[in-house]
Amino acid sequence: MRPIVVLLCLSAAIVLAQTKPPQETAATKAYPVWWIPELNLAKLEDVEARLAQPFSEEDLNVLKLNAESFSQPAQLEVHNCNELLAVVDPNKWDFWSLDRVGSWGNIGSDCAIVKELGHATPARRSAVRNMAWTPALFSLLPAGICYADGEKSHAAAMEADKQGLSLHQYSKGKAGTQRLRGSGRIILTLDNRFAGASYDLVARGDFDGDGWEDIVIEVIGVPPHSGRGTVAVYVLTRKSDNSRFQTIKAIF
């Protein structure tokens, strides 16, 4: 009778496996998508609605005053994230462009991050989850995301990236950390002769569909003797705990 009992047990196990609830069968997706609450996005299903949501009166006012604050001609009138992102070219590395500074930079970067979250899925593997968000991380970040104040300095950073230099090796700046009050977030800071810049982890998830967890970094910098703080946003990834991060793309 033992063989029959074994067969019955195996049959029962197969039936149970086939009838597992969805949350158990999806257990291989172990790393859920994460983003900072400041993006005002409740869930990923709300991305399209968030992009089309009209800007508040306060945001509309500061967007209109952006050019005036820097004594520049008026910018196009935009009313939501979709309209703002439609007129910003993330591949145009003019860091003095009004599209990247002041209110356009601050609001636009949030819009770009939300839009990118629309492509995010839970990751099956991760080499980013256990890293400590400390200045030591500058040795693992790529030189190409170094804050640049124009096309020339950006090109220099990209060349250093091609040579395999880390952000720490290229910038040779003084690193530090800053904790945001009330949120628990830690921002890495880096001061050098070019500028003071902050590097903020704002989202995690699989953004390119390869199963590995990626990170989104927002870079904000202010050159010396300038009120023009400019913003850039990058998606980075790595696939082992011993490797340096690679840039997937710039999204703002």
Interatomic CA distance for residues 87 and 201, integer angstroms: 25
Return the pLDDT at 2: 36
Question: What's the pLDDT band for 23 if we cut at 50, 70, 90?
Answer: very low
Could you give the number of structural domains in the chain?
2
Same domain membership, residue 213 and residue 162: yes
Name the DSSP class of 209: S
Give residue-wise pLDDT tens across range 150-202: 778 888 999 999 999 999 999 887 888 888 766 678 899 988 766 688 999 99
Phi/psi at 190 (5° precision): -145, 120
Same domain membership, residue 149 and residue 241: yes
Same domain membership, residue 43 and residue 73: yes
Return the pLDDT at 223: 65
| 56 located within any domain | yes
* Mean pLDDT taken over the chain: 84
Range among 12-16, 127-131, 219-223, 226-230 with highest mean pLDDT value: 127-131
Return the pLDDT at 172: 83
Interatomic CA distance for residues 114 and 112, integer angstroms: 5
Same domain membership, residue 105 and residue 75: yes
pLDDT at residue 27 above 50?
A: no
Return the pLDDT at 4: 36
| 168 located within any domain | yes
* Structure tokens that stand for 202 in this block: 């704002």
Range of weakest confidence among 83-97, 137-151, 237-251: 83-97
| 71 located within any domain | yes
Interatomic CA distance for residues 236 and 225, integer angstroms: 31
Question: What's the pLDDT band for 239 if we cut at 50, 70, 90?
Answer: very high
Give the SS3 label for residue 116. Answer: helix
Q: What letters, b where the CB count within 10 A reaches 16 and e where it falls short, cover 222-231?
A: bbeeeebbbb
Interatomic CA distance for residues 179 and 182, integer angstroms: 9
> Could you list the residue range(s) of the whole structural domain that residue 64 is in?
34-117
| 129 located within any domain | no
Q: Is 209 left (phi over 0), alpha (psi -120 to 50) or beta?
A: left
Same domain membership, residue 155 and residue 105: no
Return the pLDDT at 30: 86
Return the pLDDT at 14: 34
Question: Which pTM was predicted?
Answer: 0.84
| 11 located within any domain | no
| 13 located within any domain | no
Same domain membership, residue 111 and residue 56: yes
Same domain membership, residue 80 and residue 180: no
Over residues 60-83, mean pLDDT: 91
End position of a domain, from candidates 76, 91, 117 = 117
The alpha carbon of residue 206 and the mean position of all alpha carbons in its chain are separated, in whole angstroms, by 11
Interatomic CA distance for residues 203 and 12, integer angstroms: 42
Name the DSSP class of 34: E
* Structure tokens that stand for 40 in this block: 């005002």
Over residues 87-91, mean pLDDT: 80
Return the pLDDT at 178: 86
Give residue-wise pLDDT tens across range 200-236: 999 999 999 999 999 999 999 876 655 667 899 999 9
| 28 located within any domain | no
Interatomic CA distance for residues 173 and 94, integer angstroms: 23
Over residues 15-19, mean pLDDT: 40
pLDDT at residue 5 above 60?
A: no
